[in-house]
């Protein structure tokens, strides 16, 4: 049975290790492993951030991670949930770990009284698109007559 749990501060290294694997999976070299660990250690105790870990069974080490952020949304007069990162190791894909992590995020958001969960996904990631659509996530927003598109401006890093 798939296990999903909220990471505790003593699990910061496990969380950071999975996020580093995500970075490597994306073909990136930065941020460094130390920067990820420092960031996870900084965020893991914050009330507006959660990391969920997932494993194919209760005896297995974590093979998936979800980073979740919460913020108050004026347009919904309630908290919003941002699924910032979701990663599952290659050897655990197709076993339901990603689905269980998304279920955990939705449950956590519901428990907190969130009225919406948002995420961004690369349009070339067909598997992720299919997973999110199976939960009802959509870029189409008929209330406003078009698609919702998350855009970014990357600023130069100074260090």
Reported as a pLDDT band with limits 50, 70 and 90, residue 159 is low
| Helices and strands (H and E) in the chain: how many | 4, 7
Q: Report the predicted TM-score, pTM, of the whole model to 2 decimal places.
A: 0.93
Task: Give the best-scoring range by mean pLDDT among 64-68, 119-123, 139-143.
Answer: 64-68
**Mean pLDDT to the nearest integer, 30-43:** 97
Q: What is the percentage of the chain residues whose pLDDT exceeds 90?
A: 83
Ordered structural domains, the chain, with CATH = 3-147 (3.40.630.30)
Choose between 156 and 133: higher pLDDT: 133
The pLDDT-based confidence of 158 (bands split at 50, 70, 90) is low
Q: How crowded is the C-beta side of 127, counted as CA atoms within 13 Å?
A: 9
Encode burial over 36-56: b for 16+ CB neighbours within 10 A, e otherwise. Answer: bbebbeebbeeeebbbbbbbb
Mean pLDDT across the chain, nearest whole number? 94
**pLDDT level of residue 152 (50, 70, 90 thresholds):** confident
Q: Report the distance separating Cα 148 and Cα 128, nearest Å.
A: 17
List the one residue out of 152, 73, 150 whose CA is nearest residue 112: 73
Torsion of CA 73, 5, 138, 149, to 10 degrees: 60
Residues in the chain: 159
- In this predicted structure, the answer to whether residue 11 has a pLDDT above a threshold of 80 is yes
Query: In 84-113, which positions are buried (b, 16+ CB within 10 angstroms) versus exposed (e)?
Result: ebbbbbeebeebbbbbbbbbbbbebbeeee
pLDDT at 99 over 90: yes
């Amino acid at each position: 049975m798939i296990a999903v749990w909220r990471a505790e501060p003593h699990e910061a290294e496990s969380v950071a290790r999975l996020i580093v694997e995500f970075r490597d999976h994306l073909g990136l070299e930065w941020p460094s492993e130390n920067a990820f660990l420092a960031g996870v250690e900084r965020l893991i105790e914050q009330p507006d951030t959660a990391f969920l870990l997932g494993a194919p069974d209760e005896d297995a080490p974590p093979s998936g991670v979800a980073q979740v952020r919460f913020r108050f949304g004026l347009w919904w007069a309630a908290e919003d949930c941002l699924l910032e990162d979701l990663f599952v190791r290659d050897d655990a894909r197709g076993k339901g770990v990603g689905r269980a992590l998304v279920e955990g995020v939705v449950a956590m958001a519901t428990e907190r009284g969130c009225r919406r969960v948002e995420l961004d996904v690369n349009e070339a990631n067909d598997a992720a698109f299919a997973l999110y659509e199976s939960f009802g996530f959509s870029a189409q927003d008929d209330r406003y007559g078009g698609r919702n598109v998350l855009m970014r401006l990357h600023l130069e890093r100074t260090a």
